Every structure is written in C-alpha cells, then in structure tokens.
Chain A
Amino acid sequence: DTAVSQTPKYLVTQMGNDKSIKCEQNLGHDTMYWYKQDSKKFLKIMFSYNNKELIINETVPNRFSPKSPDKAHLNLHINSLELGDSAVYFCASSQVRGAEAFFGQGTRLTVV
C-alpha cells in the first residue's frame, strides 16, 4: 500500500497546455502539500492545505491551483504551461502542519 501516491510519474506536454497532477494519501493525514524541485534539486513549498486553510507561497504563479475534493486528495492544476514549469513536483502529507511530511514519488513534468 503506497502511503502517498501521485499520477502520472512522468508528464511531457507542450507550452500553453493545461495539465493536472493527481495526489492521494491513505495515511489519514489532515494536511497536504505541493512542492516543486528544480533542476538544482532545490525544494520549494508551493501550497499547504487542510480542510480549513490554504496557504499559498506568494511566489507561485496563479496559473497553478490546488484542488481538494476531499481530505485524502490534493490535485495540482496548471494552466498555460511554460518552459520554466519543467521540474519535479512532489505531493506530501502530514498529520498536522509542522509534523514530518511523507512524500509521493514525484511527477517529472517536462514542457516542450
């Protein structure tokens, strides 16, 4: 049983397209996150979300939006993809904010 799972693992798409990455956790955690890892391996928080509060990193373009149909899912929608969006995107969850986060296997997005 995978604790945090993301799909797809790889995503190749053209500039200007809209795409989504799905994330599901079966840990019963209350908080979910999206992180972006760039080509230099730097990990940056994009969103932090529980059923009460969405915290958005101010540097994230509004082309990116999280959507949570329920507590176990936090999907990432990206509109009008740009070359600079190419990165690995990680979904994660934790029991509460501040606790250790458990990560999905990552989605490697390549925009061509």
Chain B
Amino acid sequence: AQKVTQAQTEISVVEKEDVTLDCVYETRDTTYYLFWYKQPPSGELVFLIRRNSFDEQNEISGRYSWNFQKSTSSFNFTITASQVVDSAVYFCALSGYSGSARQLTFGSGTQLTVLP
C-alpha cells in the first residue's frame, strides 16, 4: 500500500519569509515517482515537479526547491522569499511502478497562507 503524509495542515508566513512544506511517503516499490501540485484559491490543480526514486538530486526552479531523501522517505518543498501569490494548498503525491500502484496517491495537503 502507498501512503503520503503531509503533517502540516496549515502554515502562515509573512511575505518574503522562507517556508518548507514537509512530505513523508511509504511504498513497497523500489521504483516510484514523487510529485508536488499546487491548488490556488481558484481551484485548479497545477503540476509543479516530478522526481523518480533513482534521482536524489535536489532541484531548484526559481524560488522553489525540492529536497528528496530516500533515507528518511521524505520529499520536502521549500519556497524562498514567499509571495502572496504563493498562497495555495500544496499536495505531495506518490505513484508506484506496477499494477494499481501506478496512479497518484495524494497527501492531505498543506494550506499555505502568505500574509502581506
């Protein structure tokens, strides 16, 4: 069985602060994929990043960075110098490699509020 845990239900920060969203996952697969999605107040789900289980290199995209650590089964997401437009629900997700595991299992989401 696959499971994704986002222990932070809600986070509030003041604009320009850095914020890290935690994600811990469980899977029996040795090959798997991890994702982050953003859901702004408008409601759509926006794909941010996909990592496979063999690539533990951290990734940076502008103000966004992701830290993947297999040893702790974590895939954390950091926003640097947060902005009001970053306010959204952020979902971490996991997909396995075979059978019914090959579909996205989502965490419960973290509501991020960035205050001006």
Contact = CB atoms under 8 A, between A and B. Distances in A.
Interface of A: 33, 35, 40-45, 48, 55, 88, 90, 92, 96-103, 105-106
A41 to B, nearest CB: 5
B115 interface: no
Nearest to B52: A98
Interface residues of B, number: 23
B45 A97 contact: no
A90 B103 contact: no
Contacts of B74: none
Interface in B42-75: 43-45, 47, 50
A98 B97 contact: yes
Given A42-B108, A42-B109, A98 B33 contact: yes
Contacts of B44: 103, 105-106
A88 B35 CA distance: 21
Contact of A90 (B33, B35, B45, B111): B45
Given A42-B109, A105-B44, A106-B43, A98 B102 contact: yes
Given A45-B104, A99-B95, 11 more contacts: A40-B108, A41-B89, A43-B91, A48-B102, A97-B95, A98-B103, A99-B50, A100-B35, A103-B37, A106-B44, A106-B45
Contacts of A45: 103-105
B30 interface: no
A103 B44 CA distance: 7
Contacts of B39: 41
A105 B97 CA distance: 27
